[in-house]
Every structure is written in C-alpha cells, then in structure tokens.
Amino acid sequence: MGDSAALEDAAPGGAAAPRSPARSPARRTLLAGALAAAAVPRALGPAPSPHPATGLPALRACGASAWALDLRTGARLAHRPDVPRPLLSLHAGLVAAQLLRTGGPAVLRRHLRFSPDDLVDGSPVCCWHLSEGMSVGQLCDAALRRADATAANLLLGLVGGPRGFTRSCRELGDRTTRLDRWAPASSGGQPWEPRDVTSATALARGYGRVLVGTALPAPARPLLRSWLPTAPLPGGWCFTHAAATGWYGSAAVVGLAQRGARTVLVSALTRSGQPSTRGSARTARAAVASVLQLLEGG
C-alpha cells in the first residue's frame, strides 16, 4: 500500500476521509524565513489544509493524528489532522484560558468549596482538599499539571458546563471541538463515540490561540504556560504541554516544543484500540518527537 492510501482513515459511518491532492516533497513545508508574527495568524486562522505528511511509520504504528507548525520558519506538517479524536480532558487548558480571558487574574483568587459527592475518579489533588476547598488558581494547576478530573469539572462549571465550553470554541472559530459530558465520562475514548471530540488541527489551533496568539492578553499567556508540565524530547527539545489519556489506548498531547530560538506548535493524538487499555502520554509524546524529526527533514 502506498503512503497516500495509508493516510486514509475511516470517517463516522464508514466513509473514507477526503484525501488531499498529491504534492511533491519540496512543497510539503513552507520556505524558511517567515516571521513568527506572520506565521501564527496564518496557521491559527482560516488557512488551506497543510499537505498530509507521508512515510510516517512511527506515527502509523501508534495510530496517530498530528499537526505541527514551526513558528520561526512557517513549516507545517500534518498526518490525518482532521480525523475526529477523543478530546479526553484537554478541554481543561482551554477552560482555564477562558477564565483568564473573561475574569482576568483576579478570578484565580476565587475560592471554591466542594463535597465528597463532587469527587470523581482520577482526582489526585482534590481528594486532599475536601475540608478547606481550593482557589481557582489551584484548580487550574491541578487540572493541567496533574490531570485532576474533579478540578477540571469544577472549572468547567464556571464557564457554563460542556455547552458553555463548546460555545466558547465556536466563538473562537473552532467548528470541530465539542464537549458533551463531564469527567470521567468524557474521557471514555471509544472510537465510535461522536461526543467529546476534537481533531489534531482543531486542538493545536485552539491551544495556539491562547498560548501564542491573541485570544489571551500577553500578560496572561505566561501564567497559562506555568500550569503546563514540561518534558524533554530527543534532539534537545523541551515540550511544554497539556496531556490526557483515556480508554481504548487513547492519549493526546498539545503544546509548544522549544529548542533555542525555535518554537513548534504541535498536537498528537494516539490510540491503540484496546478497550481495556489506558492510553499513555509517553506514546503521544513519542509521536511528537517523530513529528519534530520529520520537520527537520529526518
């Protein structure tokens, strides 16, 4: 099977996803030298779909969808970027950004109390704070740094629940990402599930708008980044990212990979397809490492 055929993925209902026209390798990336300030709006706003990357055995092996933009050179790479994938708990970063955008830094000092009835599975931080509650800032840190599901639910409640979050995505131009349920149901990861989904393109552009775009005031962007964990990647890269996992071997990461003066906005969503298997963020980060290697011509 040729690379172009391998890039096809089944859409809901059994239909095959549209295939992009074939292009020469020389056109798979944009010419270097584009200013980062010009590259970000092109990628985060309406733009022609980037050419699907080919020859990606590492990405195919982990069932990955990926999208990346080098903010210094303008080079882009995508692999099955618009296939629907589970959102898992990655709405938490966008919810935190929405709170900063609408309430400013003062919202972080707001204190929330919660009861044992509010606790859900996967809450390693909130389970220790039942007696005194937590501030919004502490909940943001718990939801993003520790993937605390109760923290994510409490924050989600402040923006109108799943419907309010989805409405916010539409207001920012994202027509793909949707949230229908609260955690932990939203992290089921079922491949056939039409609810609680996103795509590699939508996820990267959504986080890009708040991390390096203009959806957040400049002083708030470093604060949002401070809640995201960092991890080293091969080749000397440092990846500041949000990560989430679900069943059916599903996992997703999105954020900024940095090395020296280079910054790459990248998302990767992986899936093994095994119903009883929890996905691994390490697998998704390995997919990001493959994407970065391909961007460098590897």
pLDDT by position in tens, the chain (length 298): 333 222 223 233 333 333 333 333 333 333 233 333 334 444 454 433 344 444 478 898 889 999 999 999 999 999 999 999 999 999 999 999 999 999 999 999 999 999 999 999 999 999 999 999 999 999 999 999 999 999 999 999 999 999 999 999 999 899 999 999 999 999 999 999 999 999 999 999 999 999 999 999 999 999 999 999 999 999 999 999 999 999 999 999 999 999 999 999 999 999 987 888 999 999 999 999 999 999 988 6
pTM (two decimals)? 0.82
DSSP string, the chain: --HHHHT--BPGGGPBPPPPPP--GGGSSPPTT--HHHHHHHHHSS-PPPPBP---HHHHHTT-EEEEEETTT--EEEESTTS-EE-TTTHHHHHHHHHHHHH-GGGGG-EE---GGG--SS-TTGGG-TTT-EEHHHHHHHHHHS--HHHHHHHHHHTTHHHHHHHHHHHTT-SS-B--S-TTGGG---TT--SSEE-HHHHHHHHHHHHTSSSS-TTHHHHHHHTS-EEEETTTEEEEEEEEE-STT-EEEEEEEEETTEEEEEEEEE----TTPPP-HHHHHHHHHHHHHHHTT-
- pLDDT at residue 44, as a whole number: 52
Q: Kindly name the residue from 4, 49, 65, 89 that is annotated as catalytic.
A: 89
* Catalytic residue check, 280: no
